[in-house]
Structure 1
């Protein structure tokens, strides 16, 4: 005979409750027909677990109940790796009677008289264990093993509720375990938010991918996943979402009429703005208050976001419902570093075009970028040179204007002046170092000096070099 008693369970499940004494009961049966059996129960963690009856006597063909107790109430379940086990030992007791001290001495001496009848694993289960594992998964070895044990016997609705918690805490393995156990990936919360909406809001890329792989769907009327991702500048999430859901709309609006670009603009999330402005994205959508994304970026002082939005928008002077432009909002909020790009740069260009020297000096005194470019790559010097505003050219040069800067077509201020026939401006530019041949991004500008070589005001060594060549 290899054992004298037999347990009625293969594992003992103990429901753990925070700061409470917890217990679980199981039975042992004596397999002997005519002889009583002495029993000893021990655990691998005696400081955590104990028995109300560690030593006992079971009469022939009888059984007894035993209670495993969590000795020290705690806020944390005493999880161990490897898991704790109960060891059941037995010994034949012909007399059928003995005192506890006698039984203790009987099992303290190893020998053939002591049988090792069973080792029973102890599983800590219950919602408190599950919640602890979800929130502390990075600190607990073999979390996945403990978790599967802890959720055994849970209903589908219980598993689904736990799935939400696991998603927010971001453990991909536990999310997978819960779905495999029966949690509903397409369940929605009271606000109609999907599981993937929770994952995006929590910034969980790996969890989002798992939910997508398990067929999680989004409801475009309730889920604002691109808005959520834009708020945290999570372009990686946005790419995954757009690839998985072909009908997702980068121009969708929330209850306030704001698009994902609006949300990104509020937070200065430039990468998200650029992603949304890919083909189909609109930077000029106005929300319920008449605010464009540019209004929000300007009000918050996000220079890079303002510059990015201006690349895809002509709404610099659009007014909101309060009659304010993006420039006005920047001024109102003290964001002086935005004034150039939102208005003063335009004002400087306009002054250079019409020959308003006083206006130019005023702009430059307020910190306007003297080399700021318009949508075509023209600087104020291009405009002044093309219009022949020689006094404006002088002011710009005195304030550090780049004399050989090329526009998007490769034109320099010197070429603009020459092609418009403004020889005195061309002479002034050459005197300040403008080159006759300037290599730009797109081409090489070769100036036709033959048209001007006999003009008395165009006297420069470069002209004679061209003539001698």
Structure 2
């Protein structure tokens, strides 16, 4: 005979509740038709478990009930089972007399031999939300923990599973998240404030957890879910990639309560790689928030050089957009003293305007603040191009005095000298020639007329004395 008794269960589940004792019952049935069986029940951890009737006798074909109790309350209110299983060992021996005292039974099982049968091993598992929370939060991520977790989850209701799903998302273990969802946790459950397991996973930067939640069918709610904004603030490009790949219809230009997109957030924090990524997936750098601030305004104010460069390369209006307070990105940078941004943010825009209208005073201020005298606009014009085209001789003199290159060409290959002559400003042209300007090829090609030749002859007669006078 292989065994003398049979058990009604192979596992005992103890519903662990913090601060309370717990117990579970099981039954043994004598398989012998004519003979009583002596029973010995021991646990692998007798210091914390107690068993009713650890030594007993079961009559022929009879059944007896037993109770396993967790015999102490843990002072720290956590289950004693860290990453292992406990068991009850069921040993038996035939008892022809059918009767024996406890001391007799003790002596019977104290001596090993062929008369002792090891009939069964009953596994002991703590179950319930407190156990799951403990395993999620404190246990090492071992194979045995992955075996214990499904058992512990079996003692949880749906409400508890939903709570535990959020805890697992926080701790960043995708296996635990999957196990809870498989057990019945609702991936779309939210608390009273709208917080979900997904929002927690994103907030804590747990990319693999977020992937599991997306694959499990999480549905975003635009009222609560600002995942792109959160991931952006954390400078987590990988999280942004997962979100954009997981949701084809995700709105990369969605705005929060301040009217700010994720690109605004990235610009505020100076996360240049995030800025590049968001623009690559369609973020609009020219969107202004409720106060009229574009991402460029924020990056300029904070002095984020690399971000400013990227935004300028991709924006259309931001450079000249003013906030509701009437400030450009340059003005905000100037307020904070970010002089390394002046050229990039086109302090020279003011210089260009002053050169165009002939405002020498404003030009002096721009140059004193560090404006680039040779900065080009979108057409390749420098302030000198503008000043000579309008014939503002005093502006021309000031610009050359501050180092303006007299022969720089615009996108069409035109020099300031060419523009001056085409506009008929001979005094300006003479001043340029006196400072080394040369007629470029396009000037010769386009002004090969009698008037042009007359002007050139006149210029030569005047320039020579001027040149001699300089030296």
Give your verdict on TM over 0.5: yes
* Cα distance change of structure 1 residues 328 and 449 upon mapping to structure 2, 3 Å threshold: closer
1:265 maps to 2:267: yes
Aligned partners of 1:37 and 1:364: how far apart in 2? Answer: 106
1:63 alignment counterpart: 64
Aligned partners of 2:106 and 2:23: how far apart in 1? Answer: 23
- Give the alignment of 1:236-255 within 5 angstroms: 236-255=238-257
2:178 alignment counterpart: 176
Q: Contact 1:90/1:117 (CA < 8 Å) preserved in 2?
A: yes
Q: What is the Cα deviation at residue 150 of structure 1?
A: 1.0
- Helix, strand or coil at the partner of 2:347: helix
Residues 313-351 of structure 1: CA deviation (Å, up to 9, x unaligned):
423454434444444444555655545544634334445
Residues 353-407 of structure 1: CA deviation (Å, up to 9, x unaligned):
677777556545444456655445666677679889355234236xxx8x99987
Aligned partners of 1:315 and 1:56: how far apart in 2? Answer: 85
Q: Contact 2:407/2:417 (CA < 8 Å) preserved in 1?
A: no
TM-score normalized by structure 1? 0.76
1:207 maps to 2:227: no
- Helix, strand or coil at the partner of 1:257: coil
1:347 maps to 2:350: yes
Whichever structure has more helix as a proportion of its residues is 2
1:30 maps to 2:2: no
- Give the alignment of 1:69-218 within 5 angstroms: 69=70, 71=72, 73=74, 74-79=76-81, 83-136=85-138, 139-192=141-194, 195-218=197-220
Aligned partners of 1:426 and 1:17: how far apart in 2? Answer: 94
Q: What is the Cα deviation at residue 218 of structure 1?
A: 1.9
User: How many residues matched?
Assistant: 438
Q: What is the Cα deviation at residue 89 of structure 1?
A: 1.0
Q: Contact 1:370/1:396 (CA < 8 Å) preserved in 2?
A: yes
* Cα distance change of structure 1 residues 417 and 292 upon mapping to structure 2, 3 Å threshold: closer
1:395 maps to 2:396: no
Q: Contact 1:357/1:395 (CA < 8 Å) preserved in 2?
A: no
Q: Contact 1:417/1:423 (CA < 8 Å) preserved in 2?
A: no
Q: Contact 1:361/1:395 (CA < 8 Å) preserved in 2?
A: no
* Cα distance change of structure 1 residues 426 and 278 upon mapping to structure 2, 3 Å threshold: farther
Larger radius of gyration: 2
Q: What is the Cα deviation at residue 308 of structure 1?
A: 3.0
* Cα distance change of structure 1 residues 349 and 289 upon mapping to structure 2, 3 Å threshold: closer
Q: What is the Cα deviation at residue 178 of structure 1?
A: 2.0
Residues 104-146 of structure 1: CA deviation (Å, up to 9, x unaligned):
3332321111110101111121111111222246544433222
Aligned partners of 2:407 and 2:81: how far apart in 1? Answer: 73
Aligned partners of 1:295 and 1:164: how far apart in 2? Answer: 37
Q: What is the Cα deviation at residue 221 of structure 1?
A: 4.1
1:315 maps to 2:327: no
- Helix, strand or coil at the partner of 2:256: coil
CA RMSD, 1 decimal: 4.1
* Cα distance change of structure 1 residues 132 and 33 upon mapping to structure 2, 3 Å threshold: same
- Helix, strand or coil at the partner of 2:160: helix
Aligned partners of 2:237 and 2:188: how far apart in 1? Answer: 24
- Helix, strand or coil at the partner of 1:87: strand
Q: Contact 2:165/2:180 (CA < 8 Å) preserved in 1?
A: yes
Aligned partners of 2:41 and 2:409: how far apart in 1? Answer: 90
TM-score normalized by structure 2? 0.75
- Helix, strand or coil at the partner of 1:6: strand
Q: Contact 2:129/2:161 (CA < 8 Å) preserved in 1?
A: no
Aligned partners of 2:69 and 2:82: how far apart in 1? Answer: 16
Aligned partners of 2:385 and 2:105: how far apart in 1? Answer: 105
1:463 alignment counterpart: none
1:291 maps to 2:293: yes
Residues 16-65 of structure 1: CA deviation (Å, up to 9, x unaligned):
33455443332333333444433222233445x33244731123024131
* Cα distance change of structure 1 residues 251 and 91 upon mapping to structure 2, 3 Å threshold: same
1:466 alignment counterpart: none
- Helix, strand or coil at the partner of 1:106: helix
- Give the alignment of 1:453-468 within 5 angstroms: none
Aligned partners of 1:192 and 1:266: how far apart in 2? Answer: 26
1:467 alignment counterpart: none
Aligned partners of 2:16 and 2:288: how far apart in 1? Answer: 54
